[in-house]
Structure 1
């Protein structure tokens, strides 16, 4: 059996309420966001299969993971900086490791998060340029493949709407008003295209079950078609997420 990666966009945060609210630093979930987590916990059909919880180190993603999927058998959540959101907005800049590691003590493991993860300037791998975003997404997929191994692992990752398009290289449905095609607390399931683990890109493809749940009998785009769609998706999300030099 091949490993399965369940990807989730975080629940509604206060920064999702308006453009002005994006000036909030690393915001909390709204009451609606907390209800979205409860709804997702009730609706997600694969809880018993999960073997690992992972998340962006940002507060809204860790809280979503805890509220929708956290249980004593799967904690602590592994926080990984390559899964953080992509823009320079205050809402998309994280909190210093000592602060969040104390806030989530025993519930999230920040040992793989470097102190400089909150820096997104020219010297940082987290600067939102196209080259660095593609490299970061590739690193994220390699990390998932490393954790998944060769067995029937079911890994759950909570991350962000913009980053999810780069991680999956799936560019359908990008909404220029929200810079993503993913809804808050939406989940989709993926497997590696190459089960041998030799694919340098560690490419992912949505499972048939996940696709049918979302899109019915319509046909998935091929990898070539997604690649052709990528520049349009980036053009739509670029201004909203303040991406730098994103022309492909």
Structure 2
């Protein structure tokens, strides 16, 4: 018998589905495409989305609604940078917010000079901001986040409770995070997802973070799968992945499982 099976079986309770999203087009993407030195411009601090970026958000929102994904996602995790939070709430948030509706909006009107209406926090999953899925740290001002005080003002219904410092203490003006450090941070973040009970999680992050993290995971895969993982993300691209617990990080059994009885037990009843 050939033991080199091309497939694998894992118990369903040891699997999660994650949806990786790169933020929509930001102003830094446009300026950096014209001149790579523009990434060093202080004017691009915590870069926001462009009008085209918001159009990309609207297109992805329409897609996740039509394919039913919007109703399946139990949690949205976002990097705490302006462009990722704008993308996250625009794609996965509720409808337009009105004063008559109770609860805080996910995004206030015009957040980040967007000119967009406020976005409701009703009829959508919870949103959690995490430093762990930020873009590669250091040097480029576009990758330095705003204060959490400001973020809470612009995105009142996003949960920032797991971010320890109000100001950005991780970004350094003269030290660029190595690719290896980004990948290690990304893999630690993916492992952390097993501490969450949600099974369907959307993660809105950045080109560099996604690229370096997936490149590391691709080293364990068949070359064809690795090539797929290593493909660079376009702006506002979404990819579905299955996360498998191979190290017994999870312990629950699936709710659909049923223990059954062996023949001896059955004969006693």
CA contact (8 A) 1:145 1:197 kept: no
Asked if residue 34 in structure 1 is aligned to residue 54 in structure 2, the reply is: yes
SS in 2 for 1:67: helix
Query: What's the counterpart of residue 160 of structure 2?
Result: 110
Alpha carbons of 1:139 and 1:74: their partners in 2 closer, same or farther (altered >3 Å)?
farther
Query: What's the counterpart of residue 66 of structure 1?
Result: 89
Query: What's the counterpart of residue 255 of structure 2?
Result: none
CA contact (8 A) 2:179 2:212 kept: no
| Pairing partner for 2:242 from 184, 188, 191 | 191
Q: Work out the CA distance in 1 between the residues paired with 2:151 and 2:71.
A: 28
| Higher mean displacement: 94-103 or 19-28 | 19-28
> What's the C-alpha RMSD, in Å, of the aligned pairs?
2.7
Displacement of 1:104 in angstroms is 0.8
Query: What's the counterpart of residue 211 of structure 2?
Result: 165
Q: Work out the CA distance in 1 between the residues paired with 2:58 and 2:179.
A: 35
User: Whose Rg is larger?
Assistant: 2
Displacement of 1:87 in angstroms is 4.0
CA contact (8 A) 1:54 1:156 kept: yes
Kindly provide the CA deviation profile for residues 151-199 of structure 1, in whole angstroms up to 9, marking residues without a partner as x: xx21111000110023333474899xxxx81000101111123356449
Alpha carbons of 1:127 and 1:113: their partners in 2 closer, same or farther (altered >3 Å)?
farther
Alpha carbons of 1:131 and 1:86: their partners in 2 closer, same or farther (altered >3 Å)?
same
CA contact (8 A) 1:172 1:181 kept: no
TM-score by length of 1: 0.67
TM-score by length of 2: 0.63
* Unpaired segments ≥5 residues, structure 2: 1-11, 95-121, 219-225, 251-269
| Higher mean displacement: 59-68 or 84-93 | 84-93
Q: Work out the CA distance in 2 between the residues paired with 1:60 and 1:92.
A: 10
CA contact (8 A) 1:94 1:118 kept: no
SS in 2 for 1:16: helix
CA contact (8 A) 1:93 1:118 kept: no
SS in 1 for 2:87: helix
| Higher mean displacement: 140-149 or 51-60 | 140-149
CA contact (8 A) 1:3 1:148 kept: no
| Pairing partner for 1:182 from 233, 246, 255 | 233
CA contact (8 A) 2:16 2:244 kept: no
SS in 2 for 1:73: coil
Equivalent pairs counted in the alignment come to: 188
Query: What's the counterpart of residue 14 of structure 1?
Result: 27
Q: Work out the CA distance in 2 between the residues paired with 1:79 and 1:47.
A: 19
| Pairing partner for 1:4 from 17, 23, 26 | 17
Kindly provide the CA deviation profile for residues 56-89 of structure 1, in whole angstroms up to 9, marking residues without a partner as x: 0101001101111112233541000011100420
SS in 1 for 2:156: coil
* Unpaired segments ≥5 residues, structure 1: 200-248
SS in 2 for 1:3: strand
